[in-house]
Amino acid sequence: MQAILALEDGRIFRGLGYGHPSECLGEVVFNTSLTGYQEIATDPSYAGQIVVLTNPQIGNYGTNQADNESAKPYIEGLIVREFSPISSNWRSEQVTDEYMERYSVPVLAEIDTRALVRHLRTFGVMRGIISTSETDTDVLVQKARSIRKMDGTDLARVVSTKSVYTFDAADSRNQAGDPYLADGFVKNEEARGRLLHVVAYDFGIKLNILRMLTREGCRVTVVPAETSADDVLGLKPDGIFLSNGPGDPEPVDYAVRAIRQFLGRVPVFGICLGHQLTGLALGGKTYKLKFGHHGGNHPVRNNVTGKVEITAHNHNFAVDPDSINANEVELTHVDLNDQTLEGLRHKTLPLFSVQYHPEAAPGPHDSHYLFRDFRRMMEEWKS
Catalytic residue among 272, 342, 346, 368: 272
Q: Which of 254, 154, 268 is nearest to 204 (CA)?
A: 154
Whole-number Cα distances in Å, 325 to 59, 281, 318, 320? 46, 12, 16, 11
Among candidate residues 119, 313, 359, 368, the one labeled active-site is 359
β-pairing, 196-202 vs 239-242, is: parallel
Q: Cα separation of 316 and 150, whole Å? A: 9
Amino acid letter for position 293: H
Closest among 343, 263, 349, 364 to 34, alpha carbons compared: 364
Residues whose CB is less than 8 angstroms from the CB of residue 162 and which lie 6 or more positions away in sequence, other chains included: 224
Distance, in Å, from the CA atom of 159 to the CA atom of 21, rounded to the nearest integer, reads: 24
Q: Is 272 a catalytic residue?
A: yes
- Choosing from 275, 298, 357, 368, the catalytic residue is 357
What is the number of other CB atoms lying within 10 angstroms of the CB of residue 80? 25
Helices (H) and strands (E) in the chain, counts: 11, 19
Residue 57: other Cβ atoms inside 10 A: 12
N- to C-terminal Cα separation, the chain: 63
Alpha carbon separation from 63 to 41, 88, 125 (Å, rounded): 11, 10, 28
Regarding beta strands 341-346 and 329-335, do their DSSP bridges make them parallel or antiparallel, or are they unpaired?
Answer: antiparallel
In angstroms, how far is CA 37 from the centroid of its own chain?
A: 13
For residues 302 and 354, give the distance between their C-alpha atoms in angstroms, rounded to a whole number: 11
* Active site amino acids: 272, 357, 359
